[in-house]
Amino acid sequence: MFEKIDSIVERYNELTDLISRPEIISRQQEFLRLVKEHAELSDIVKTYQEYKKVVKEIQESTALLKEEVDKEMKEMAASELTDLEFKKNKLEQDLKSLLLPENPNDKKNIILEIRAGTGGEEASLFASDLFKMYLGYAQKQGWKVEVMSSSMTGKGGLKEIIAMIEGKGVYSKLKFESGIHRVQRVPETEASGRIHTSAATVAILPEAEELDVVIDQKDVRVDVFRSGGHGGQSVNTTDSAVRVTHIPTGIVVSMQDEKSQHKNKDKAFKILRARLKEKQEREQMDERARERKNQVGSGDRSEKIRTYNFPQNRVTDHRIGLTLHKLDFILKGDLQEIIDGLIIAHQTEALKNSEALTTFKV
């Protein structure tokens, strides 16, 4: 591990020198590329410097314990040594985490898709609650949310909603939200007070740029039609709605929220690229014999990743066994504790696999 870090430090120092040279600065594109690489290496270099400093302090404290000093000085050194050993172990774990391969999608914006699953109108109302939850979390993060498409019920629920979320590290924080979310509560229409169980599906798709997914126009059929539903005169009287069908995969995206046919087409292709990218990545992982479940599944309440229990004000994430009794705050967007838990669990598992591979190689 340390040989790899030493090579990173060597490259970091080389970059530090390069980006200070006038001839490099004058070549703007090259300069920006080198500055970006320099910034990406800075965290591991700074952590390694701190690690080496702690190791040196441990050596000094250990040496002091061997010297002829008074009892009080030895006790102080021993106490300090315990703290330093803890800090050293923590920094070692940080270094291992920083060396893990970065998910290339982590810095991307996302397309969020929420659909009502099992449970009728109650499922639609829950889908609306979930969207408000993610909207609240996005606002806390300073992210921008744009609704691309939505289908509402008469009682204010959501049959489906698709939204773009833009900001720093959106995918890295929300990528574990994909799956079936289950709710247990007493519907307003339930006179007997009986608890109902409903479900909604959430899919988190990293935004795909045109360079990420190249769509051959021969493989696409674009149909235009008159928009339906509420929305005023222009929605219902012009052929502004767009349906894009990707013939090889059968993926269909319909968009009618905008008054402009051009804007609807752009949004439809953006969603299509994201779905094709997700499909390609899933197939690649299957080819490498890695286990991976479909993000959305059937929408059945038996396939759950998280349960929201209203009577007990409880949220349980079943993947990591985390239970929090603050459902009211979580539905307002206070998701960070759950997200941190999922990220830590993922990193821990990745570290185990990394260490197992290292042991095997030895």
Could you tell me which of 230, 153, 164 has the C-alpha nearest to residue 198?
Answer: 153
DSSP classification of residue 175: G
Residue spans in the chain of domains classed CATH 3.30.70.1660: 110-207+301-348
How many CB atoms neighbour CB 20 within 10 A?
Answer: 9
**Model confidence over 145-200: pLDDT tens digits?**
999 888 888 888 999 999 999 998 899 899 999 999 999 999 876 767 788 999 99
State the CATH class of domain 217-285: alpha beta
Evaluate if pTM is beyond 0.85. Answer: no
**H-helix segments, the chain:** 2-18, 22-25, 28-66, 71-99, 120-141, 170-174, 233-237, 261-287, 327-330, 336-361
Fold of 110-207+301-348: Alpha-Beta Plaits (3.30.70)
| Residue keyed to tokens 């774990």 | 93
**How much is the CA Rg of the chain, to the nearest whole Å?**
26
Taking the domain 2-99, which CATH number applies?
1.20.58
Q: Is the pLDDT of residue 237 over 60?
A: no
Least confident piece of the model among 38-47, 84-93, 189-198: 189-198
| Backbone phi and psi for residue 294, each to the nearest 5 degrees, phi listed first | -60, 145
Residues of the chain with CATH 3.30.160.20: 217-285
Taking the CA atoms of 107, 111, 112 and 115 in sequence, report the sign of the dihedral they define.
negative
Give the model confidence (pLDDT) of 46-80 as tens digits: 999 999 999 999 988 888 778 776 778 778 878 88
**CATH 1.20.58 domain range(s) in the chain:** 2-99
Average pLDDT across the chain, whole number: 82
Structure tokens at 25: 């600065």
Q: What is the rounded CA–CA span in Å between residue 360 and residue 362?
A: 5
CA distance 270 to 247: 16
